[in-house]
């Protein structure tokens, strides 16, 4: 049996010698996905497919699959959609920092708090990298001074946290997260909302 390939709902034919999902994705990328487009979802038999490890798609045998569907968007469409959702992402990151602060204050759960702090910082970093790409894609006009001031505040909070860590002052770390980091995230959300 040969899997049916759909791209944004349209059935596409592909060479019979393509036997796994990774090869199909590479073929589709080369032949049907434009330079200004990206694949935003891959469905295998109506279920979202996302690799858990590199080249996992090569293990998906197309002879055992009924349908593969690719959803593509232009980079600009994807960027605009991301911007609409950006404040919600920041709210989730904010919750992570708030939870980290609460756990860090609790002597028995302090290690969990530091773990959450690390994860929240990773999420914030990934979000910032992605947002920078989005801003370049669709040319967002945010006042440079306002953006610079915002990131200066972040740097001050980060410096305060680092200094408190060196002194092993977990209460100052928790306060910096609640007072500085959460305020920074809220202002960032507002700035993003205004740019829409």
Q: What is the 3-state secondary structure (H, E, C) of the chain?
A: CCCEEEECCEEECCCCCCCEHHHHHHHHHHHCCCCCEEEEEEEECCEECCCCCCCHHHHCEHHHCCEEEEEEEEHHHHHHHHHHHHHHHHHHHHHHHHHHHHHHHCHHHHHHHHHHHHHHHHHHHHHHHHHHHHHHHHCCCCCHHHHHHHHHHHHHHHHHHHHHHHCCCHHHHHHHHHHHHHHHHHHHHHHHHHHC
- Does residue 110 share a domain with residue 170? yes
- Does residue 177 share a domain with residue 95? yes
> pTM higher than 0.75, yes or no?
no
Which pLDDT band, with edges at 50, 70 and 90, does 142 fall under? low
Task: Note the pLDDT tens digit of each residue in 81-95.
Answer: 888 999 999 999 999
Report pLDDT for 138. 77
Report pLDDT for 160. 96
Task: Note the pLDDT tens digit of each residue in 23-71.
Answer: 999 999 999 999 999 999 999 999 999 999 999 999 999 999 999 999 9
Here the CATH number for the domain that contains residue 14 is: 3.10.20.30
The structural domain count of the chain equals 2
- Does residue 187 share a domain with residue 118? yes
- Does residue 168 share a domain with residue 106? yes
- Does residue 95 share a domain with residue 66? no
Instruction: Give the domain extent around 41.
Output: 4-74
- Does residue 117 share a domain with residue 60? no
Final residue of a domain: which of 20, 43, 74? 74
- Does residue 48 share a domain with residue 110? no
- Does residue 95 share a domain with residue 165? yes
- Does residue 189 share a domain with residue 147? yes
- Does residue 87 share a domain with residue 49? no
- Does residue 186 share a domain with residue 91? yes
- Does residue 85 share a domain with residue 63? no
């Amino acid at each position: 049996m040969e899997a049916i390939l759909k791209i944004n709902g349209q059935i596409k034919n592909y060479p019979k010698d393509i036997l796994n999902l990774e090869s199909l994705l590479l073929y589709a990328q080369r032949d049907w996905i434009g330079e200004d487009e990206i694949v935003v979802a891959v469905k295998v038999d109506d279920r979202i497919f996302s690799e858990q490890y590199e080249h996992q798609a090569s293990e998906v045998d197309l002879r055992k699959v009924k349908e593969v569907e690719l959803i593509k968007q232009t980079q600009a469409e994807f960027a605009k959609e991301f911007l609409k959702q950006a404040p919600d992402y920041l709210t989730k990151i904010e919750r992570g920092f708030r939870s980290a602060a609460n756990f860090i204050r609790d002597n028995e759960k302090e290690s969990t708090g530091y773990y959450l702090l690390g994860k929240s910082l990773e999420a914030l970093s990934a979000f910032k990298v992605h947002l920078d790409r989005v801003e370049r894609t669709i040319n967002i006009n945010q006042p440079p001074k306002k953006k610079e001031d915002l990131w200066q505040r972040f740097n001050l909070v980060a410096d305060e946290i680092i200094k408190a860590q060196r002194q092993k002052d977990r209460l100052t770390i928790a306060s910096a997260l609640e007072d500085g980091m959460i305020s920074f995230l809220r202002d960032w959300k507002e700035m993003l909302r205004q740019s829409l």
